[in-house]
Amino acid sequence: MLGDHLVFPILLSRDLARTREFYHDTLGLEILRDDPERIIFRCGSGSQVAVTLSTTGTSDIQTQLAWRVPDIHAELMDLRARGVRIEAYDAPDPTTDADGIADMGYAWAAWIIDPSGNALAILQVKGAPPAATP
């Protein structure tokens, strides 16, 4: 049954060199496969992100993938230290606060944009308040 197996997102890239630099050099993701048509990165235990070469890239502005994290503030601090810009959004929805975090009801979320325009979310499911910013 498909519900018993891992899935991985496949994103589009107009420039695999910039993709490699962003995901590997900036975000620190391990490269599992790198060829002229695609790069596959390891994320977490058993999951992967594949980015394939495309002549058009993505035209979507919606979130393409999300990392589920235990502490969104710590992740955003790490991303900022790596030089990654956290997106700011205003009404109607979502609206981010001064730290770049939106209250989505069930979770707190923030977004970054990769070099090909893919919107990537960092998501902390609610259960306990997010850690305070140092």
| Structural domain boundaries enclosing 34 | 2-125
Q: Do the domain assignments include residue 130?
A: no
| Residue 73's pLDDT band (cuts 50, 70, 90) | very high
Q: Do the domain assignments include residue 103?
A: yes
pTM (predicted TM-score): 0.85
Q: What share of the chain is helix, strand, coil (3-state, %, to 5)?
A: 20, 35, 50
Cα 100 to Cα 96: distance, rounded to the nearest angstrom: 5
| Residue 129's pLDDT band (cuts 50, 70, 90) | low
| Residue 27's pLDDT band (cuts 50, 70, 90) | very high
- The pLDDT value given to residue 46: 85
Q: How many domains does one find in the chain?
A: 1
Cα 123 to Cα 108: distance, rounded to the nearest angstrom: 6
Q: Do the domain assignments include residue 75?
A: yes
Q: Do the domain assignments include residue 53?
A: yes
Q: Do the domain assignments include residue 63?
A: yes
Q: What CATH number should be reported for the domain holding residue 22?
A: 3.10.180.10
